[in-house]
Every structure is written in structure tokens, then in C-alpha cells.
Structure 1
Amino acid sequence: MYPEAYIDYLAYFHGPRDYFECHEVLEEHWKKEGMQNDIWVGLIQIAVSLYHQRRGNYEGGRRMMESAIKRLGGQQDNLTKLGLDHPLLLDQLKKRLSDISARSPYTDMNLPVTDERLLDVCCQSIKKHGSSWGAVSDMDNDQIIHKHRTRDRSEIIREREAQKKRKNTASE
């Protein structure tokens, strides 16, 4: 009923609070769709915003949250189809934007999931990874807090270089 990547996103978001992985799994899904989809991009931006806030990068967190609010504002029907309470979600995002703008310390956030079946599937997924829905962020876990520093970026760097070469070849 829901894309597996979305279930994984929710599981990472509400279990280990691994916002970097939220970004990774949903971005892969979004790119496979081959189109610009504000729903997926907006959800990714929520996770990225929280990742930045938790690390003390308030400017990055603010920009991402503003963009997420803008993208998701007119998406009530689509967010409802994804089992989320649109008005409550927007209220939460606006409150979080205010907190980020005030440079308030990070606190965990749960997305307003309204579909009990989706919640059950996500909770089962989270349990497989040794966590539980609504777990508290482990602020001492550098592997999650600073994940972008520990990943292998060689493939990303190769792809960027290949894109530059293609762009240069096309402009010649």
C-alpha cells in the first residue's frame, strides 16, 4: 500500500532518529520515480533540517525547514494518502522552524501518522533494527549525529566528475 522506502523513512525517523538514512532511502526512491515530487522532497527536507538542527547548524536547518513547509503546504490530499495529518504536520513544522530560528536545542519530533496499519508496519520494521517507535535520540552516537563525515563519498565524487565532463563536452 505504501512504498517500502517510505516505510523505511518513517522507521529511521521515529526509531534510531537516523535522519541521514531517512534522506538516503527516500532520495533513492524519489530518483527512481524519475520526476520532481514535492512530497518526497519535502519529507527529505524535514529529515535534513532536523539533522542540521541536531548538529547545531541552525542556518542549514532553517533553510531546509522553510523549504519543506513551502513544498508540503499545498499537499493535503497527497499527505493524507501517505497516512499523515496535514494540518498537524504543518503546525509542527512551523513550530520547529520557530525553534530553529531561535537556536533552540534539538528535541525529537514525531510525524503525525494517522494510519494505524502504517504505524504497525513501521513499528515492526523498527523492532527488527533493535529500536522502538518514538525512541530518544542518542546524542552521543557520532555515527548517527555526524553520519555525513563517516560515509564513503568516492562514488558521489566520481558521479559529480562524470557530470562535469558531460556538461563540458555538451557545451563545446
Structure 2
Amino acid sequence: MSFSEAYIAFLIHFHADRDYFECHEVLEEHWKKNGMTRDSIWVGFIQVAVSYYHYRRGNVKGSLKMMDKALHLLSYKKDEVLALGVDYDLLIRRLNKSRAKMIDHKPYEAINIPIENQLLLAICKNHYAAKGYEWGNLFDEAPEYIVHKHTLRDRSKVVPNRKYVLV
């Protein structure tokens, strides 16, 4: 079984540098490039990443909204999640546990996506180690530029290309 580069990049960012914004970016590009629907499995994983991005920043309302959407979408994607080498039941339990913490306004804690496929796990561990991270470490040392990436990134090339509608 082969896994897309975008999916592997998503997993590395999710587990290594905890750059949830970048998780969103790589999967969104993959999703759009391949013309997938709004209920694609990739949208579910994007929503998970966005939920954790908001959760870590203290935006409980945003994190819950995204987590609820992700859990709903993933609720009918079990076979697809399993095909991606992930333990579906354990993933859903971990996401629900995080959701409960969000509701209770508990501090953000990182999770690991439970990868069952040994080839995928080996690929991830190799990339992970090459970046200087220890696999399975839940300690999140993300620097400010990752934690607040959407507010700190350079938008100078994007903004002039936007089309604004005057109301």
C-alpha cells in the first residue's frame, strides 16, 4: 500500500512540530488538487488539525466547532480511516477525550494519531527522527510562529491578488 506525500507530510507535522496550520495547508492542497468532495476523508483530517490549532490558542468555541464537524464526518468514514493505516476506534476515543477537555476548558494537550500500518509508521518514524524528534512524545514545544501562524505569516503576496466585493 502506498500513501500520498501530502498524507505523510500531514502526519509528520501533526506529530513532530505540531504545526497544525501546516497540516491543514498540505491536506487542503492535496484535497483541492485531486478534486475531492467536501465530505472527503481529507476534510475530516483537516478539521481535526484546525480544531487542535484553535484549542492550543485558547479558542474553545472554534476548536469545538471544528472537532464536532470532524467527528461527524469521520463517523461514516471508518473504512477510509482504516485504509489510511489508522486505528479508527482509538482515534475517535482520543478525539472525543479532547472534545470533553475543550468543553471543560481544560488546557490543550497534544495527541498522537494511532497509526497501525507498520510501513506507514516506519516512514513517519524515519522522517520524524531526521527532524530531531522522538516518536510518541506528546510534549508540545511549538514556537510562537507556529502557534499563531495564521496571524504571523507573510500575506503580502496573497492579499493584492484577492478580489473584494463591494457591498
TM-score, length-scaled by structure 1: 0.88
Deviation track 1:18-54 (CA, whole Å, cap 9, x = no partner) reads 1111111111111111121521011011111011111
1:32 aligns with 33
CA contact (8 A) 1:12 1:126 kept: no
Q: Larger radius of gyration, structure 1 or 2? A: 1
**Structure 1 residue 158 displacement after superposition:** 4.0
Contact 1:89 1:111 in 2 (8 A): yes
RMSD: 1.6
**Structure 1 residue aligned with 2:89:** 87
Q: Extract unaligned runs of 5+ from structure 1.
A: none
* 2: CA distance, partners of 1:155 / 1:26: 21
State the partner residue of 1:12. Answer: 13
Q: Distance in 2 between matches of 1:3 and 1:108?
A: 24
Q: Deviations over 1:68-97 (max 9, x none)?
A: 001111111111110011111111111111
Whole-angstrom CA distance in 1 between matches of 2:154 and 2:29 = 17
In the alignment, the residues of structure 1 paired with residue 161 and residue 43 of structure 2 have an alpha-carbon distance, to the nearest angstrom, of 21
| CA-CA distance at 1:3 after TM superposition | 0.4
Matched residue SS, 1:154: coil
| Alignment correspondent of 1:105 | 107
The structure carrying a bigger helix percent of its residues is 1
Out of 8-17 and 84-93, give the one that drifted further.
84-93
- 1:33 to 1:158, Cα distance in 2 relative to 1, 3 A: farther
Letter paired with 2:113: L
Write the distance in 2 (CA, Å) between the matches of 1:91 and 1:159: 42
Compared CA separation, residues 127 and 67, structure 1 to 2 (3 A) = same
Q: Which runs of 5+ in 2 are unaligned?
A: none
How far, CA to CA, are the matches of 2:10 and 2:140 in structure 1? Answer: 16
Instruction: Indicate the SS of the match to 2:162.
Output: helix
Q: Is contact 1:62–1:100 with CA below 8 Å preserved after alignment? A: yes
Report the alpha carbon displacement of residue 114 of structure 1 after superposing the two structures with TM.
0.6
Cα 1:102–1:159 shift into 2, 3 Å: farther
Match of 2:71 among 47, 69, 72: 69
Change (3 A) 1:39 1:50: same
1:137 to 129, 140, 144: 140
Alignment partners' CA distance in 1, 2:156 and 2:32 = 19
